[in-house]
């Protein structure tokens, strides 16, 4: 913390809040990493542990919210202090969501692993997932160091994730229409890809919170988006 | 809380400097205070906020060795011009102090005092009307209507402060200055005064000095942060308390070691 409060207990509270965000962030990163490994795996063993671990994330987010409410009630925070607390609450909620997406990836992976299908597309999924992992890592560092510029870099990078998602979406749709026997697995892959794309979106909302924390306003420009999958249909592609 | 309508400037201070003997308390204050708004002056003890407040109705005149330079105008009229009748000025610019200071007279006479000396009432009925109306506007009428002849100092602290507000508004002021009006009151009495200020600003321009950040944030439309005899930052209250531009302001309102 740049300046110290005259009431030192307030500094301790804020430090504790930061520590909780760091811990939550670490857990969300770990869940995402474990889920990503499952994309190439043949072994469903880590899935149960991942699902169980999600409860810890939920519990920690709840605890953080309680602490934040206490701080607002007791310390009457103003300006940066208030923004820090509000940002922490919002970021915690996003990290909890990221945990939910990782859990969903794990559940779908269980079905895919059980089907023993040969998947050629897992490479682009893995690429997308590792890009999103890097973004999450960078945005958590940006939060810890109040680095709005680095946060905005993450904000920009989400375009790459969107582009990868759109192209994967097309590929998977084509695969389903060509080979109906892979429809089930491919559908799960579609949702996994969407989950990863959503995690990318969530890292950008953390980036916005970091920007808000530092500058007291939200970034003015609209976030560049490149996810066209919601407008994709195979019919229009065939016509081209 | 935020008022978007553009209120007109009521009080204009330009390069206001105040000296107590050799010591300079204010170093050239420029402030525009809007009509029908509550402006809060905040800052650490000795920053000059009360000194500035007292310049507006020339309460500093009574302090030995105090010299004021620069100009303060109300509705374009210089309050330090030689034509100004200071007694008239203080009726136009009422003041409420930190410690409630009713006269040791009846509740009725406390409120009737100003209208009497300024000749505002032609008859007893008119005076009764002014007293009743002022006490109503100060939110005290219901509590004292049956004991108007009781002594003003028999009231509770919060009631005494509202009596002082009634006394100030009985002479039809334009501006009401308040110097920490709630610092001697409990939270309930404070809330009553704060509610009253919101009501009063429809007719008056209110300037309040307060040490309570929460109070400044709750009741004012604009806030000026004073430090070492200067205005460090002045702006919309909601901006000052959520996203101050100045590091010193931020440190002060957040309770940091600046």
For residue B149, pLDDT beyond 70:
yes
| pLDDT of A115 | 86
Q: Which residues contact A94 (CB under 8 A, 6 or more apart)?
A: A202, A205, A206, A209
Structural domain containing residue A233:
8-239
Domain boundaries, chain B: 9-253
Residue A81 included in any domain? yes
Per-residue confidence band for A123, with pLDDT thresholds at 50, 70 and 90: confident
Q: Does a structural domain hold residue A1?
A: no
Q: What is the pLDDT of residue B230?
A: 97
Q: What is the ipTM of this complex?
A: 0.78
Residue B252 pLDDT exceeds 90: yes
Q: Does A41 touch chain B (CB under 8 A)?
A: no
Angle at B13 between CA B12 and CA B15, to 5 degrees: 145
Asked whether the beta carbons of residue B255 and residue A3 sit closer than 8 angstroms, the reply is no
Residues from chain B that touch A79, judged by Cβ atoms under 8 A, are: 241-244, 250, 253-254
Q: Is the pLDDT of residue A1 over 60?
A: no
Chain B residues within 8 angstroms (CB to CB) of chain A: 213-214, 217, 241-244, 250-251, 253-258
| Res A158: pLDDT | 94
Tell me if A146 is assigned to some domain: yes
Average pLDDT on B56-74 reads: 94
Task: Centre a 10 Å sphere on the Cβ of residue B214 and count the other Cβ atoms it contains.
Answer: 12
> Where residue A223 falls among pLDDT bands split at 50, 70, 90?
low
CB within 8 Å: A77 and B254: yes
Q: How confident is the model over B96-127, as pLDDT tens digits?
A: 999 999 999 999 999 999 999 999 999 999 99
Q: What is the CATH number of the domain that holds A23?
A: 1.20.58.220
A210: closest CA among A149, A156, A140, A148?
A: A148
List pLDDT tens digits, range B6-62.
Answer: 679 999 999 999 999 999 999 999 999 999 999 999 999 999 999 999 999 999 988
- Tell me if B121 sits within 8 A of B115, measured CB to CB: yes
**C-alpha distance from B15 to closest chain A C-alpha (Å):** 29
Q: How many Cα atoms sit within 13 Å of B26 on the Cβ side?
A: 27
Look at residues A34, A188, A12 and name the one whose alpha carbon lies nearest to residue A113: A188
> Using CB atoms and an 8 Å cut-off, which of residues 185-224 of chain A contact chain B?
216-217
Strand extents, DSSP E, A88-222: none
Residue B38 Ramachandran class (φ > 0 left, ψ -120 to 50 alpha, else beta) = beta
Domain B9-253 in CATH 3.40.50.300: yes
Give the Cα separation of A22 and A24 in Å (integer). Answer: 6
């Amino acid at each position: 913390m740049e300046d110290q409060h005259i009431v030192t207990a307030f500094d301790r509270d804020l430090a504790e809040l930061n520590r909780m965000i760091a811990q939550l962030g670490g857990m969300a990163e770990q869940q995402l990493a474990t889920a990503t490994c499952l994309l190439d795996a043949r072994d469903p063993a880590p899935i149960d542990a991942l699902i169980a671990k999600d409860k810890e994330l939920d519990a920690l987010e709840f605890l953080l919210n309680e602490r934040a409410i206490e701080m607002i009630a007791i310390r009457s925070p103003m300006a940066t202090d208030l923004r820090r607390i509000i940002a922490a609450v919002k970021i915690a909620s996003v990290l909890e969501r990221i945990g939910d997406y990782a859990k969903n990836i794990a559940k779908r992976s269980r079905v895919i692993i059980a089907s023993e299908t040969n998947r050629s597309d897992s490479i682009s999924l893995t690429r997308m997932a590792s890009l999103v992992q890097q973004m999450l890592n960078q945005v958590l560092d940006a939060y810890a160091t109040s680095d709005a510029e680095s946060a905005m870099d993450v904000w920009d990078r989400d375009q790459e994730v969107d582009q990868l998602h759109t192209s994967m979406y097309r590929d998977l749709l084509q695969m389903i229409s060509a080979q109906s026997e892979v429809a089930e697995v491919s559908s799960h892959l579609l949702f996994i890809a969407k989950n990863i794309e959503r995690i990318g979106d969530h890292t950008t909302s953390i980036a916005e919170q970091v920007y808000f924390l530092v500058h007291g306003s939200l970034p003015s420009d609209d976030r560049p988006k490149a996810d066209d999958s919601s407008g994709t249909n195979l019919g229009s592609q065939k016509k081209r | 809380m935020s008022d978007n309508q553009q209120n007109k400037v009521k009080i204009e201070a330009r390069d206001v400097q105040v000296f107590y003997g050799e010591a300079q308390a204010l170093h050239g204050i420029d402030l525009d205070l809007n009509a029908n708004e509550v402006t809060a002056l905040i800052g650490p003890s000795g920053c000059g906020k009360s000194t500035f407040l007292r310049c507006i109705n020339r309460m500093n005149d009574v302090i030995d060795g105090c010299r004021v330079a620069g100009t303060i105008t109300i509705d374009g009229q210089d309050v330090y011009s030689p034509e100004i009748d200071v007694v008239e000025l203080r009726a136009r610019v009422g003041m409420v102090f930190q410690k409630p200071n009713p006269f040791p007279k009846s509740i009725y006479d406390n409120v009737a005092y100003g209208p009497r000396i300024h000749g505002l009432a032609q008859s007893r009925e008119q005076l009764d009307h002014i007293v009743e109306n002022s006490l109503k506007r100060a939110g005290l009428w219901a509590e004292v209507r049956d004991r108007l002849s009781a002594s003003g100092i028999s009231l509770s602290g919060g009631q005494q402060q509202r009596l002082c507000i009634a006394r100030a508004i009985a002479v039809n002021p334009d501006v009401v200055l308040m110097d920490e009006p709630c610092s001697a009151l409990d939270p309930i009495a404070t809330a009553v005064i704060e509610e009253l200020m919101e009501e009063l600003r429809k007719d008056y321009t209110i300037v309040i000095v307060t040490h309570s950040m929460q109070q400044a944030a709750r009741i004012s439309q604009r806030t000026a942060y004073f430090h070492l005899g200067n205005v460090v930052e002045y702006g919309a209250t909601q901006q000052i308390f959520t996203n101050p531009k100045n590091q010193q302001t931020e440190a002060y309102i957040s309770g940091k070691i600046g």
